[in-house]
C-alpha cells in the first residue's frame, strides 16, 4: 500500500538525526531482537517502527495479512519509505500513534513496540488508544528500559524524564521518555483494560565492555476474550515465542 504522511508537522522533528548513519542501505533484519543491544529475542513475529527494519522483517518472513509501521517523525518515515516502501503487506504511516489507533477501533490483532512509542508517548494516553484499536483478546507486546541509561532505578510513579535531543538545525532540545518500574506498568496496563499475561527481565551485557542494560518485556491481552493459554499474570517466566499475527498489527 502507498505510504501515507500528514501534509505538515506541528513541531520540530526531534528524531531528525537519530539513527541517520546506521539506517543508510540497511537490509531487513535476519530476525527480531527485543533487548537493548539486540543480542536475544524470539524467532517469530514482532513489528518495528522508526526506520521500519523490524516491520520489514515481519512482512517479508512471517507474511501476515497486513503490517502497519507507525512513526510520527517525518525523518524516520522518509527513511522507512526509501528503504522498505516496496515491501508487500507493509504499510508505512506517519502519524501520532495514540491518535491513529484511537481513530481505527477494532482494526488490529497485535500491537508491538521495541523501545518505541510505549517509551515516548504518555502511557495513560497511548495504552487506552491501543486498547481501542485492538480486537477483544488482542495483544500488546513491548520492550522497555528496566532502568535509566545512567543506571538510576526506574520511576515508581507514572512520570517521564527529559532526554537530551537535537533539532534539525542542531540546537539542543529535550524529549520525554517513560522509564517505569514493573508495578507501575502493571497498574497502567490494568487501567487501560489489559490483563498482564507475561512480564520478564533481560539483563543485557554490553559488547566491548560497555555499560550493562536491563530490558523489561511485557505481553498483555485486551480484556474481552478468554486467554488461549489459560494462564494468569506470570513474572520471571521464560520469554514467549510470539505467533505471527493473523490480521493487522501496528507499533
pLDDT band with cut points at 50, 70 and 90 for residue 13: low
* pLDDT tens track for 54-78: 888 888 887 777 888 989 888 888 9
Rounded distance between C-alpha atoms, residue 237 and residue 229, angstroms: 14
The answer to whether 93 and 123 have CB atoms below 8 angstroms apart is no
Rounded distance between C-alpha atoms, residue 9 and residue 153, angstroms: 34
- Within 10 angstroms of residue 226's Cβ, the number of other Cβ atoms is 9
pLDDT band with cut points at 50, 70 and 90 for residue 35: low
Mean pLDDT, the chain, whole residue set: 76
Cβ neighbours of residue 166 closer than 8 Å, sequence gap 6 or more: 14, 16, 17, 172, 173
Cβ neighbours of residue 170 closer than 8 Å, sequence gap 6 or more: none
**What is the rounded average pLDDT of the residues 153-163?**
95
Q: Which residues, in sequence order, are bridge partners of residue 248? A: 66
* pLDDT tens track for 119-146: 999 999 999 999 999 989 999 999 999 9
pLDDT value of position 123: 95
pLDDT higher at 171 or 38: 171
| Proportion of the chain above pLDDT 70, given as a percent | 69
pLDDT value of position 211: 81
pLDDT value of position 50: 66
pLDDT value of position 165: 85
- Within 10 angstroms of residue 232's Cβ, the number of other Cβ atoms is 9
pLDDT band with cut points at 50, 70 and 90 for residue 37: low
Amino acid at each position: 500500500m502507498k505510504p501515507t504522511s500528514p501534509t505538515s508537522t506541528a513541531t520540530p522533528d526531534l528524531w531528525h538525526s537519530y539513527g541517520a548513519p546506521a539506517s543508510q542501505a540497511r537490509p531487513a533484519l535476519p530476525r527480531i531482537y527485543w533487548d537493548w543491544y539486540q543480542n536475544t529475542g524470539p524467532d517469530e513475529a514482532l513489528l518495528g517502527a522508526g526506520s521500519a527494519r523490524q516491520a520489514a522483517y515481519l512482512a517479508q518472513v512471517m507474511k501476515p495479512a497486513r503490517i502497519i509501521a507507525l512513526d510520527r517523525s517525518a525523518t524516520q518515515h522518509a527513511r522507512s519509505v526509501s528503504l522498505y516502501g516496496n515491501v508487500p503487506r507493509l504499510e508505512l504511516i506517519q502519524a501520532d500513534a495514540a491518535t491513529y489507533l484511537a481513530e481505527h477501533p477494532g482494526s488490529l490483532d497485535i500491537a508491538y513496540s521495541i523501545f518505541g512509542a510505549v517509551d515516548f508517548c504518555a502511557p495513560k494516553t497511548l495504552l487506552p488508544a491501543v486498547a481501542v484499536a485492538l480486537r477483544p483478546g488482542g495483544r500488546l507486546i513491548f520492550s522497555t528500559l528496566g532502568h535509566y541509561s545512567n543506571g538510576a532505578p526506574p520511576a515508581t510513579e507514572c512520570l517521564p524524564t527529559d532526554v537530551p535531543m537535537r533539532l534539525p538545525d542542531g540546537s539542543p532540545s529535550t524529549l520525554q521518555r517513560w522509564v517505569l518500574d514493573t508495578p507501575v506498568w502493571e497498574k497502567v496496563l490494568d487501567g487501560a483494560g489489559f490483563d498482564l499475561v507475561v512480564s520478564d527481565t533481560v539483563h543485557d551485557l554490553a559488547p566491548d565492555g560497555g555499560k550493562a542494560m536491563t530490558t523489561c518485556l511485557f505481553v498483555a491481552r485486551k480484556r474481552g476474550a478468554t486467554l488461549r493459554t489459560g494462564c494468569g499474570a506470570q513474572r520471571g517466566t521464560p520469554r514467549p515465542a510470539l505467533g505471527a499475527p493473523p490480521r493487522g498489527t501496528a507499533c
